[in-house]
Structure formats: structure tokens, C-alpha cells
Amino acid sequence: MKVIVGVDIGGTEIKVGKFNDGQLIEKKSIKTDTTDYGSRIINDIFRVVDELLGQDTLEGIGIGVPGPVVKGIVLGAQNLGWEEIDLTSKVKKHYPHAHVAIVNDANAATFGEVAYGSAKGYHHVVMITLGTGVGGGIVIHDQLLEGFSGSAGEVGHIRVQETNPRRCSCGLFGCLEQYASATGVVKTAYELRKGKNTRLNKANLTCKEVFDFAKEGDEVSIQVVESMTDYLASGCATIADVVNPEVIILGGGVSKAGAYLCEKVANKFKKLCFYSVRNTKFMLATLGNDAGIYGAMHAASKQ
Ligand SMILES: [Zn+2]
């Protein structure tokens, strides 16, 4: 059987999926070994891929990497301990007969949703991943937009707060990530719950609880969600004004808040964006944690 393999390298886990004709047949995951500057990661991947392959023929292999990538060269991946590395050449050396695609992980997830998930059939798509941070990817005319230094789609660092901005891990102030990520939502909850009678007054508060309490009518929780969606809609308006996508997909753990979140953002967006991009659709991602392996596989299939 001819197969294409999709790999998603995360900071803690590496996911590998074997596909035939776009169908996920088998997947495996291993821990990411970041010791010694991540020097064993590539061989670990080869080992798992070889195990998965068995008697199958490898037509292509796509790999999503948590760092900027330009034309198959990884410019660096801090979480893994990597500096610049020509991953395409290394993979081609090991699998000389396979098509090889190396892409940024957030871009891979976007590509996955475009080819096999909620944005199937759309050609101009932006995906925003709302997790512990905020990431994103841009597909225009069915092509991933990498940008000059592999940093297109870094939507988490759009400035959305000017007056009293939070400091971001990137060193800037007022980044979208500080308000629309799971961490950001909890931070806002801690600020707004002070001195109030609210269900948010509990230890180890999670972003999911904030949304659940809001859906159940807790006033202060609703204020937190309103604040988060104001910032997110503002960021989306900026993105849409620049790239004019057909669809903006919301993915990542925070997007499990579902239609409640998606509809709020879509409604607020209409009041903040330029009139000619008002019809931008909003959707929830559907592939979950598998978006990366689907997208990496799709990138390899297009080589
Ligand atoms: Zn930032």
C-alpha cells in the first residue's frame, strides 16, 4: 500500500500518522526528547515512521515543526533546542524516494483544517489556535503563507490593548495572546473577581470553568468572556482587513467553548472590521489535536 506520513512535533509529544488516500490508518505518539539540544528527535521520528511503515511504500512525509520555516529550512525551534537546520535534506537522505514537506506546526494545523476539516472547500482561510498561547496560520489561494522569515500568521502578537497592557512572553506589551489564550482568560478572571460574589472565587480556576460559569449565568464570568471576545474580535478584524479570508477558524482548547464563543466573536467582529470584509465566516475547528498530522500529510501530498 502507498502511504503518506504526517508528523507533528510538539514541545512534549511527537505525533505520527500514517495515511492512505487521505484516510488516517494508524497513529503513534512518543515523548519529545529535548535533552542535548533536541539532537535525538529526528532519529526518534525515523524510528517511529519505519515501525509504522512495515511493508508499505512511503510516497511522502510531511513534518510540522514548532518554529519558523522557510522553504523547508527550519530557522530555529526554541522549545526543541534547535537552531537553524535543513530538515528537508536530512529527511530526504533517510527517505530518498519520498516527497518531503517541512512546515510550521500552526501552518500545518491550518492546512489540515482546510484540506480535511471545517474549512474544506474554502481557498482563503485564517486559523487562530487558542491554547495556552495564541497561534495561527494563513492559507491564500490554497497555499500556505510562510512570509519572509517564516513568521506569517503569528496573530497572537497583534497589539490589542494600549492603555494598560499586560507584558507578553515575547517582550512586547498588549499582545492578543495575553487576553485570548486560556492563560489570558484566567488572568482576566483573577482581576475581575476581586471583591465580587462570583463562582470564579475558587482555587485552581481553569479557562473551561470560566466559560462554563458564564454559560450558566454567572455575572462576573460573563464579563470575563465579554472582555476576551472583545479583544479576539478586534484581532480578527485586523487580520481580515489585511488578508480578507473567506473563513476564520477558531481552534485550540479554548475553542471547545463552542458556538457560544464563536457567535460572540462573529457578532463583535462585524462592528470592528472594514465594511467590505463583513461577510467573513467564523467556524470552529473540527480535527482537534490531529489537525497537525493531517496538514503535514497534505503538505507532503502537494509536493
Ligand atoms: Zn507577544
Q: Could you report the per-residue pLDDT of 173-225, keeping only the tens digit for each?
A: 999 999 999 999 999 999 999 999 999 999 999 999 999 999 999 999 999 99
Q: What structural domains and CATH numbers belong to the chain?
A: 2-115+289-301 (3.30.420.40), 120-286 (3.30.420.40)
| Distance (Å, whole) CA 101 – CA 92 | 10
User: By 3-state DSSP, what share of the chain in percent is helix, strand and coil, each rounded to 5?
Assistant: 45, 25, 35
| Distance (Å, whole) CA 248 – CA 129 | 11
CA of 179 from ligand 1 middle (Å) equals 11
Q: pLDDT tens digit string along 8-31?
A: 999 899 999 999 999 999 999 999
Across 242-264, average pLDDT: 97
Note the pLDDT of residue 247: 98
CA of 237 from ligand 1 middle (Å) equals 18
CA of 280 from ligand 1 middle (Å) equals 25
Q: pLDDT tens digit string along 222-237?
A: 999 999 999 999 999 9
Across 73-86, average pLDDT: 95
CA of 153 from ligand 1 middle (Å) equals 13
Note the pLDDT of residue 204: 95
Alpha helices in the chain (DSSP H): 35-38, 41-53, 87-94, 105-116, 177-180, 182-193, 207-215, 219-243, 259-272, 291-301
Beta bridge partners of 30: 14
Note the pLDDT of residue 260: 98
Which three cell numbers mark 14?
511527537
Note the pLDDT of residue 85: 97
Residue type, 255: S
CA of 264 from ligand 1 middle (Å) equals 24
| Distance (Å, whole) CA 111 – CA 226 | 30
Note the pLDDT of residue 17: 98
> Quick check: 75 and 149 in contact, CB under 8 A?
yes
Across 81-100, average pLDDT: 97
> Quick check: 225 and 270 in contact, CB under 8 A?
no
What Å distances lie between residue 153 and 29, 71, 85, 178, 282, CA to CA?
26, 16, 21, 17, 17
Q: How confident is the model at residue 95 (pLDDT cuts 50, 70, 90)?
A: very high
Note the pLDDT of residue 28: 97
DSSP 33: -
Nearest to 203 by CA among 221, 217, 189, 192: 189
Note the pLDDT of residue 41: 97
Note the pLDDT of residue 138: 97
CA of 138 from ligand 1 middle (Å) equals 18
Q: pLDDT tens digit string along 272-293?
A: 999 999 999 999 999 999 999 9
CA of 265 from ligand 1 middle (Å) equals 21
Average pLDDT, the chain: 96
| Distance (Å, whole) CA 232 – CA 224 | 12
Nearest to 38 by CA among 92, 89, 88, 74: 74
* Helix, strand or coil, per DSSP, at residue 250: strand
Q: pLDDT tens digit string along 105-134?
A: 999 999 999 999 999 999 999 999 999 899
Which three cell numbers mark 72?
523547508
CA of 230 from ligand 1 middle (Å) equals 18
> Quick check: 262 and 250 in contact, CB under 8 A?
yes
Q: How confident is the model at residue 49 (pLDDT cuts 50, 70, 90)?
A: very high
CA of 151 from ligand 1 middle (Å) equals 13
Largest CA distance in the chain: 65
Residue type, 111: F
